[in-house]
Structure 1
């Protein structure tokens, strides 16, 4: 497998795709895990919106578990301040995050996973028909506008999407599964449309990202196969276990995001 692209500068917004090499026997221990369906995961396409702290824990897990295809969308570049918690090395500083993460995933893949990097903002990629269809999406960005845009896009595509986020004090976080007819982030948090949630530059540490990334990875499995789950919303705190919890929350009838005009999105 040739990784000759590794030291090249980003080529702009054009997607780039690589194929990993499978390792015979690497996935044998998945057999017997209740509800786990390796054939289903190996045939699945998971689309990742973002390539930072949260996706940097979800995507490596999926690569090691033998997912069929991963598409990673992010227009940011790697900065030194990312290295304390994101899946990058010092050599990645200055590279586009989607391409850098793809490069870090290739050596740890256990199956012939197809990895596509899209160095663009999500909404630009969606409007340009770059996104395409996926079996499930996971959104790990740090701003509300992108979360809501992704929510509307995947609702129109009837694609389940897993949202994950952490708090500004790095103590707690949540995972929300938006089924094709299920609740969106604005159903859960009505003030999300005001754009008040954490944004770039807030404190960040790896431990809460690992915890929420694990829950998001499990939720992706549950969207694809029969791994048991009784919730579509899960919250977790490092320091305040009384605040941990899970629930099956309903869609909010008056939610402005769920009722937003979706006609301008076309699904490839």
Structure 2
């Protein structure tokens, strides 16, 4: 049964109605879409379910008539779709604009309010504000109702009115309006954190938090995708204190708070909880440099391309960042699995995440100013747009076919590269580096072409090396040796640069190391070899190689280049063994 519609008031009663809270962000939208254009225009107001906190607005794309407004069919459809997509929110009333300074409901407005309440039985108390382009001191007779129902807009005034049905008819009263300055204060916090941390900080609004049955707005302050702090603001904020917390998992606490608080007070509260957790970037960077300056006198500006974020790759990435690398592009399409936790840098909280995303979170937690680009494409899909920005490549994947293709792409661009691979069971490891500018052999010449050996255990379809058990410290040691060479490639002065220069001048570009006694590939060179034995080898390029030889394939020609073998290079002997490199992406 519909409510009676005949008994409608013709003027708002001069008695305070139901109070409502509304965010400054909603008022900004209302100002832009209702106060600026010519009246009459309207929009549906959205509140958090079971609250009187207005947090959103659904605008009507169609203006009303010159003397009246009610929902268009387009708005009804928009509102229906919005509420379907946002089940924690509810429609609580309609705001529309009036011409001039007439900031109270007209007779037709009262009838429209009554009709809406009659057809929406779930709404017992609604709000029907009026927006005018006049400032509050130009509202004339409306001021007889007081001014607690008024909110100033940049281009006019917002006047709130509550309405509820009674047996005697519709009751319309001025609704006290409290503006929650959430957007303005959050912007002050973001600006303050940006200055303090030296990194752009953005605001992300989340779902409301229920505190003692009351809805509170929540905002997270982000550096890229990482949450560094959060706040919760109640419907009477800033008269009541906010809740503040540091990082995504921390518990919120109430901050000490003055009644007449500003955005600066909120910024101070957030900074207080962060002061022991997020030191300024400059302090972090100075601390990293403090114990590196002797070995790395040149600050590292290189953009490093990391292929593979598994056991070797994740360990190498952390070492690179802790050594001063600031720009890293990581390529990997796998996710973190429980078996990965024994020999990577990931934790149980990373399970199921893409390795690139989990690694980015870990690295930015070490140094907030690092730039991490995450790519999940196959290696053969790396574009020139990506490769042309790279200064150094670190190859640590199990995709031998993809790295065979990338070997050519890097060489023709004169991009130095370091490759680290670990043999089955981590009994040994190999390290190779390529300096095209110094005409060293390419990786294919050092590691051999497909079919040149008999130790292969690669997947026939993908060319990726199958994984096998191995001890984490042995893999980390191999990664560390590769990182040291990579760091040396970023230096022009100092002990690392001198060390590498001697190796290059002697054409020692390939290194084998063992983790067990009598390992096949070191035993042939040194009888009775012990664990941790290692030897540098000369690996000359082949004159016929289309990558580094006399007749190279140019960067304008398609490269039909074979992948690497899973055998050792012929330069260290043809050894008959069943050992094989194991996949690093585990």
**Which residue of 292, 295, 299 maps to 1:30?**
292
Q: CA deviation at 1:257?
A: 5.5
3-state SS of 1:183 partner: coil
Distance 1:193 1:137 in 2: 26
| TM-score, scaled to structure 1 | 0.82
**Which residue of 59, 62, 82 maps to 2:340?**
82
**Which residue of 517, 537, 548 maps to 1:247?**
537
Q: CA deviation at 1:24?
A: 4.7
Aligned equivalent of 1:115: 372
Q: CA deviation at 1:125?
A: 2.3
Q: Give structure 1 stretches of 5+ with no counterpart.
A: 8-19
Matches within 5 A, 1:173-212: 173-180=429-436, 181-192=439-450, 196=456, 199-212=465-478
Q: Give structure 2 stretches of 5+ with no counterpart.
A: 1-200, 202-221, 228-279, 459-464, 523-528, 560-586
Aligned equivalent of 2:310: 52
Q: Which has the higher strand share?
A: 2
Q: 1:31 to 1:165 in 2, by over 3 A?
A: same
Q: Is the 8 A contact 1:72 1:116 kept in 2?
A: yes
Q: CA deviation at 1:165?
A: 0.2
Deviations 1:107-147 (A, max 9, x none): 112x73211111222221236x3344211110001132022
Q: Is the 8 A contact 1:75 1:97 kept in 2?
A: yes
Aligned equivalent of 1:12: none
Q: 1:131 to 1:197 in 2, by over 3 A?
A: farther
Distance 2:424 2:553 in 1: 28
**Which residue of 480, 490, 506 maps to 1:224?**
490
Matches within 5 A, 1:59-138: 59-109=317-367, 112-126=369-383, 129-138=385-394
Query: Is the deviation greater in 245-254 or in 139-148?
Result: 245-254
Q: CA deviation at 1:255?
A: 3.3
Deviations 1:171-212 (A, max 9, x none): 110110011132123212324467926613322321221111
Q: 1:69 to 1:196 in 2, by over 3 A?
A: same
3-state SS of 1:203 partner: coil
Distance 1:25 1:147 in 2: 36
Aligned equivalent of 1:141: 397
Q: Is the 8 A contact 1:57 1:213 kept in 2?
A: yes
Q: 1:28 to 1:125 in 2, by over 3 A?
A: same
Distance 2:486 2:399 in 1: 21
Larger radius of gyration: 2
Distance 2:510 2:410 in 1: 18
Q: 1:104 to 1:214 in 2, by over 3 A?
A: same
Distance 1:92 1:200 in 2: 23
Distance 1:90 1:167 in 2: 27
Distance 2:370 2:451 in 1: 36
3-state SS of 1:169 partner: helix
Q: Is the 8 A contact 1:70 1:115 kept in 2?
A: yes
